[in-house]
Amino acid sequence: MNPVSGKKTIEMNPTNGVCPIGETTGQANINDAKIPVLSCEGACIRGEIARLAANMIARERQFGRGCHGELITVPDSAIARWIRSAEKVVLIDGCFLRCHGRIIENIIGGERLVQFDALSHYNRYTDIFDYEDVPEAERKETARSVADWVLASLKNGQQGVKAGGSPCSTCCGQAGG
Ligand code: SF4
């Protein structure tokens, strides 16, 4: 619920703009039936780890990097059409708050969305905000570990959190039902 407008939906100004490389990439990904990978793009180290892991997974042949900005605000774009029509969408959230999962499952539905909470895998950095406070090599190593965990989970048909799940408490941060 928007505390100002009282509405549950997000309102945005329309645009006539297009992202040329986004159109090319989105259409190519539709043609190749690639699986979109979305992530938390949060400002903190947790968002950064999720973002890096999503980029790593998107380098694998069957995946492509999705853009939640276009999905939400440019619904006719090729990137948005690709994400909405994909058989499966992978989402890596930065933490148990699942900022992106809670939005995107209401756009594309929870059934096709395979969600992961990156923090639940590596369980570090909870007292750090700025990502530059963690050395670059360590950020990459942690993100690689998250990417490998997600890829292995996908192979085994598992997901990190349930669609519609919410943190059971802020103390353990694990997804509840
Ligand atoms: S999912 Fe967590 S890390 Fe990402 S923006 Fe939300 S609160 Fe921040």
Q: How confident is residue 10, by pLDDT bands cut at 50, 70 and 90?
A: confident
Which residue has the least CA distance to atom 8 on ligand 1? 42
Q: 22 in a domain, yes or no?
A: no
Phi and psi dihedrals of 89, rounded to 5?
-130, 130
Could you report the per-residue pLDDT of 54-109, keeping only the tens digit for each? Answer: 999 999 999 999 999 999 999 999 999 999 999 999 999 999 999 999 999 999 99
Q: 3 in a domain, yes or no?
A: no
Q: Which residues pair with 113 in a beta bridge?
A: 89
The DSSP letter of residue 52 is H
Structural domain count of the chain: 1
Q: 27 in a domain, yes or no?
A: no
Q: 36 in a domain, yes or no?
A: yes
Q: 114 in a domain, yes or no?
A: yes
Q: 13 in a domain, yes or no?
A: no
Pocket test for ligand 1, best of 52, 95, 129 (most atoms within 8 A of CB): 95
pLDDT for 6 equals: 63
- What's the 31 CA to ligand 1 centre distance in angstroms? 32
Token pair listed for 36: 């979109």
Q: In angstroms, rounded to a whole number, what is the distance separating the alpha carbons of residues 164 and 101?
A: 8
Which residue has the least CA distance to atom 6 on ligand 1? 99
pLDDT for 135 equals: 98
- What's the 23 CA to ligand 1 centre distance in angstroms? 28
Q: 19 in a domain, yes or no?
A: no
Token pair listed for 30: 């539709």
Could you report the per-residue pLDDT of 114-171, keeping only the tens digit for each? Answer: 999 999 999 999 999 999 999 999 999 999 999 999 999 999 988 777 555 554 434 3
Which residue has the least CA distance to atom 7 on ligand 1? 97
Could you report the per-residue pLDDT of 33-68, keeping only the tens digit for each? Answer: 999 999 999 899 999 999 999 999 999 999 999 999
Q: What mean pLDDT is reported for the chain?
A: 89
The CATH number that applies at residue 114 is 3.40.50
Q: In angstroms, rounded to a whole number, what is the distance separating the alpha carbons of residues 56 and 73?
A: 25
Range of the domain at 86: 32-176
Number of helices followed by number of strands (H, E) in the chain: 7, 6
pLDDT for 172 equals: 42
Token pair listed for 86: 């994909």
